[in-house]
Structure 1
């Protein structure tokens, strides 16, 4: 079985890995670490939870020359939480080397104090959010020009959150011999111009997931038709004893409403979203990490890259507008080989979104909440799965036929025939769309 000795890392890093009880490199670490050690620029793409952070931190920390009082590595992350997480991992890895200076620069902290400290001493590794790092560079406080490596972590999220312009300005500070490392779960087309601008011939490393979501996750689907969603969430959360449960909402307003309802029912619930002041978010995240909360309500701010150990249950109170976030949400549980449960609530009219998720390769187990428990339910596509001997009229058409037949009004048969023809046209349109999608998928695979 491969281990980290193959990379010939410095003793302090091996000690850090041992203290963190990390024994075996993941697939992306096996490919990225040697490339970064050689000084290559890399575009690394793999799913959430695959070990990207250690893949670039280990070789970069290994290459720091602590005898030089200069910035050697700059790392950006799109949120305060992600930057702080990177900083935490980096300091844990470098704990046995007190001469290696790693600093974290994020918004919501005292900028003037940071500028004052930078006037006395520069860090070897500067980690932070794009906005704050750029502010410190423009103030000529952080001397980033001396850095030989620039890392853009969670690049797709950086693009989505509108921070790519700041990252672009930071990248323009460095010299031509810069080693650039870009890591992301996905590489959207809009990111390509930036990559081509700064990366001439990068090594592209793509680790394809074996499954869209981990096979340790029990992925369930529950209809909320005719039920109060907040009440249903409360019942699901309290029907067992989850070690740690995350409830995801699409907006701050919905997250606030769910949090308020659950709190009024007597539960101690943490809340994480962009509307909460940074210091308060930091405090809440620490309390969650310290297991002071059993329940957390959050927006997608917490879905990407924030490692909260021990999440045993994820509830999607809403299907995310960007379906890619579904994978990141569900990826919070079932990590490190541990079992987890993900429950997605959906309302009538959202079948198309569910179908799109299934098209991505996500399999759901249909469930229904009855008598205080989630029980097996029917497949919502059970009608389409049947093979009728002749064309079967829908319930709506059959209801219309009965209603019009009772009236015995002139022309009622034509009215029914018109409705049948309209339904047939609609069904044919759906069928053609599904066939085209299947053809595109097959061509893509070929």
Structure 2
């Protein structure tokens, strides 16, 4: 199947060709026709499957085709609600890429920065609004945003929304939406709380599931390194001696831990930066830009900050610390091996973390292969 088989209009086909996209991923092939038929959709897809394009492409087409019916040019016609600013920015970039020939306007609003550039964009008029919950509610309360004429609503990364404590904000926003709308709901996992939330948003949805819940992509080569906590820095430097690792995304559990790892790497001459919630928005965006351009070899991140990181051709993810929530492991290593590409995930496990590892093995229904031939091996 190619994108031309999905009944897409020429302005979007042209943009996809310019982006180098010819073949849709499974989530795109399944979701795009459903959305174009104007049905509600419940999508269960792990990170890295191409789900942003799965909803952005058909939404742009429907908005483009219905543009002549819209008399009020300044109203917001579509809302994409997402948990982090990084993810919001990435979604905004996707809409800009796929919609560059449609004339459909979009803007992104999120907290942690001054609101004036965002409110200026809203004053000029937008069709699509991509937002994080806190800043959206703030701008609604100030009177800058009205959602009463919305045609499309997308709740993206719903499981992460709940993890980050946004469920009450999400429910407040849903109450402000018109009853007549098309709603799309995406989550990497489907625990009971997510299913309950979906039931309040969707009407007779078509369910699309492209991978088993909480599975890891088969294209990712996973390896486990047992190591003392005190030797993790040495093991990381040992692995990075392999110059074929052009870039690596390293995960820590805490902001303080991320900063400490960066300090060690820089002292050893490895170009690295940290990205976490204590960094300013400009610092986070500059760090991501440097990593994407490979000016920085290693990006050290916490889980919440990393959810929106979308880097083409990222080959290596390194779990410096094993996550205490097993689903987080799936999200982390899904930063590599995206959309069918090959990737490598290394995980460092000390004695205290073995209990977390047991939960991960249970969730992904397999054991991660162990690497014993390294200088810091323990059992």
Q: TM-score, structure 1 length as denominator?
A: 0.78
Specify which of 87, 93, 105 is matched with residue 98 of structure 2. 93
Matches within 5 A, 1:151-300: 151-209=154-212, 212-225=215-228, 228-300=231-303
Give how far 1:216 is off.
2.7
**Quick check: 58-67 or 302-311, which moved more?**
302-311
Against the structure 1 CA distance between its residues 316 and 57, is the aligned structure 2 distance closer, same or farther, given a 3 Å change threshold?
Answer: same
Contact 2:42 2:184 in 1 (8 A): yes
For 2:300 and 2:100, the matched residues in 1 are separated by 33
- Does residue 39 of structure 2 align to residue 56 of structure 1? no
Which residue does the alignment assign to 2:119? 115
Give how far 1:368 is off.
3.1
Deviations 1:306-332 (A, max 9, x none): 211222222111110111111111122
Deviations 1:104-127 (A, max 9, x none): 1111233134334433x3201111
- Indicate the RMSD between aligned Cα atoms, in angstroms: 2.2
**Quick check: 139-148 or 107-116, which moved more?**
107-116
Give how far 1:300 is off.
0.9
Against the structure 1 CA distance between its residues 172 and 369, is the aligned structure 2 distance closer, same or farther, given a 3 Å change threshold?
Answer: same
Which residue does the alignment assign to 1:362? 366
For 1:108 and 1:63, the matched residues in 2 are separated by 32
Give how far 1:227 is off.
5.1
Give how far 1:101 is off.
0.8
Contact 2:78 2:128 in 1 (8 A): yes
For 1:197 and 1:324, the matched residues in 2 are separated by 24
Which of the pair has the greater relative contact order for Cα pairs under 8 Å at 6+ separation? 2
Instruction: Name the SS of the counterpart of 1:146 in structure 2.
Output: coil
**Quick check: 133-142 or 75-84, which moved more?**
133-142
Against the structure 1 CA distance between its residues 61 and 303, is the aligned structure 2 distance closer, same or farther, given a 3 Å change threshold?
Answer: same
Contact 1:271 1:296 in 2 (8 A): yes
Which residue does the alignment assign to 1:80? 85
Against the structure 1 CA distance between its residues 176 and 227, is the aligned structure 2 distance closer, same or farther, given a 3 Å change threshold?
Answer: closer
Aligned residues: 372
Structure 1 spans left out of the alignment, 5+ residues: 381-446
For 1:47 and 1:189, the matched residues in 2 are separated by 17
Instruction: Name the SS of the counterpart of 2:21 in structure 1.
Output: coil
Contact 2:258 2:301 in 1 (8 A): yes
Which residue does the alignment assign to 1:134? 137
Against the structure 1 CA distance between its residues 155 and 255, is the aligned structure 2 distance closer, same or farther, given a 3 Å change threshold?
Answer: same
For 1:330 and 1:114, the matched residues in 2 are separated by 33
Q: TM-score, structure 2 length as denominator?
A: 0.91
Which residue does the alignment assign to 1:404? none
Deviations 1:396-434 (A, max 9, x none): xxxxxxxxxxxxxxxxxxxxxxxxxxxxxxxxxxxxxxx
Which residue does the alignment assign to 1:403? none
Structure 2 spans left out of the alignment, 5+ residues: none
For 2:230 and 2:197, the matched residues in 1 are separated by 47
Which residue does the alignment assign to 1:408? none
